[in-house]
Structure 1
């Protein structure tokens, strides 16, 4: 997948505004916009996201006032995020202009019928609905730094062990099967940046949970497991070993983990609506996604 820097410039004039491809030099400005929204991303997080995806910025008199990013998630599937319009420039239709541009990019790269997934804040819902997105679920953000270390028993023959280099392809396949999203570049980045544990039954890997630096502290995700009990066991590996450190999870609303996380001290602090345009990416057996990579990457 080409990086943003390799994309054609494709500038669009709107009054004195222009759209262009995001470059690594734009990360500092993107970081400022994200901080204004009280989003937790570090500059390093944003640089990593751009390295495996594509971005567009809207400039007005040399100032970046709008952004969006997208990532390939299959031959005809993409995820979309980091849609931000400067608060000083809202209400003038800038969000629609930027979104139209990125949707055109995705259509050119993946075809006009590409499936596109995003997680929408309440503020973004009206625009996304106008653009043909529909809600298909929700993601609940849980976080905290003061929590208990739970003990979740496993079945005979099961164990949790550190993820090794030989597990990479298997974990990638588990994530792809559970989410319907095929993201080799994202998964390669995660393996480079994250620590992982895997759940095994005999010699078969049946689940995994990755743990990495992000935002204010650490994030657990993705988490793939056969069921909620085993998902809890995987998550507990990280919670139990990192007591007192700030940890975040983004879980599907129907995961069944919310009350358990609350009991541990990882409180719910936010909610976004999962939306798709086109066909909805769907997971297959045997695993289920109990925590996502991030709200932007999905």
Structure 2
């Protein structure tokens, strides 16, 4: 049984860059694949809270990202295994909820974290399937006539922000340019009009494909073409894709050699998000970013 005296000794303060090593140690303790650089990117793009014990050790974290004045996400939510069931996780989330106010808040959670979110007013909105692997054989996927894949250029950023914001229902004007600084990108183009895109970047002990945004198409061919592009360039590398289960890409990804290794629930408080159905987010950037 946890010692209730431990809870009395816990204090809460802002998460700072000096806490990155401690955050990385926490994520390693719960077997997350994050690198210190992944924590550094998270800390640079968010505001966070650290739970600290009497010795000064960081025993819990939760970071929050604001997307304009209407929405936010909470992620990097961890309590050390030795300090769970003390109410620390609830306090971390409640502090962010109070600060975020009336914003629509997105989280991804499983197990006890999911149960906690539901007691705090979050509602399930869908399941995310995590796929990862290194031995894949991507097919060549045909695009509709007049459409092609091309490298993303500097002048594409406003359109990328617009597509990403409409597909997710979250204002990506601040975070997407920062993602572009650490990612490579491929665009789906039709006669000079940018229709969709997919980013590829280092993450954990491999790489992640996401976000992937494209218009609806028969058999999800546009999304498959964007994902296949990156897989073909990085055969043999460890790659991860997090895709909403409802979109039906999981069977196709498994057939390529990217097994479905985990499922996590997407939950929303003060929802729903104003998603534009003309652009679909086939893979998310990360669970932390919503």
Q: TM-score range by the shorter chain?
A: over 0.9
Deviation of residue 14 (structure 1)? 6.0
In structure 1, stretches of 5+ residues that fail to align are 1-12, 108-112
Deviation of residue 185 (structure 1)? 2.4
Q: Secondary structure at the match of 2:126?
A: strand
Residues 1:69 and 2:63 aligned together:
yes
CA distance in 1: counterparts of 2:73 and 2:237, whole angstroms: 30
- Paired residue for 2:97, among 84, 96, 103? 103
Deviation of residue 123 (structure 1)? 2.6
CA distance in 2: counterparts of 1:138 and 1:22, whole angstroms: 29
Residue 140 of structure 1: aligned partner: 129
CA distance in 2: counterparts of 1:72 and 1:97, whole angstroms: 19
Query: Deviation above 2 Å: which 4+ runs of structure 1?
Result: none
Greater mean alpha carbon deviation, residues 263-272 or residues 278-287 = 278-287
- Paired residue for 1:235, among 220, 227, 232? 227
CA distance in 1: counterparts of 2:285 and 2:138, whole angstroms: 23
- Paired residue for 1:186, among 175, 191, 212? 175
Instruction: Count the aligned residue pairs.
Output: 281
- Are the equivalent residues in 2 in contact too, given 1:72–1:183 (CA < 8 A)? no
CA distance in 1: counterparts of 2:42 and 2:173, whole angstroms: 13
Q: How does 1:159-178 map to 2 (within 5 A)?
A: 159-178=148-167
Q: Secondary structure at the match of 1:123?
A: helix
CA distance in 2: counterparts of 1:68 and 1:224, whole angstroms: 27
Q: Secondary structure at the match of 1:136?
A: strand
- Paired residue for 2:82, among 82, 88, 96? 88
- Are the equivalent residues in 2 in contact too, given 1:74–1:182 (CA < 8 A)? yes
- Are the equivalent residues in 2 in contact too, given 1:251–1:292 (CA < 8 A)? yes
Residue 3 of structure 2: aligned partner: none
Deviation of residue 285 (structure 1)? 3.8
Residue 219 of structure 1: aligned partner: 208
Task: Give the TM-score, by structure 2 length.
Answer: 0.94
CA distance in 2: counterparts of 1:254 and 1:216, whole angstroms: 28
Residue 28 of structure 1: aligned partner: 21
Residue 288 of structure 1: aligned partner: 280
CA distance in 1: counterparts of 2:229 and 2:116, whole angstroms: 40
Q: Secondary structure at the match of 2:111?
A: coil
Q: CA RMSD in A?
A: 1.2
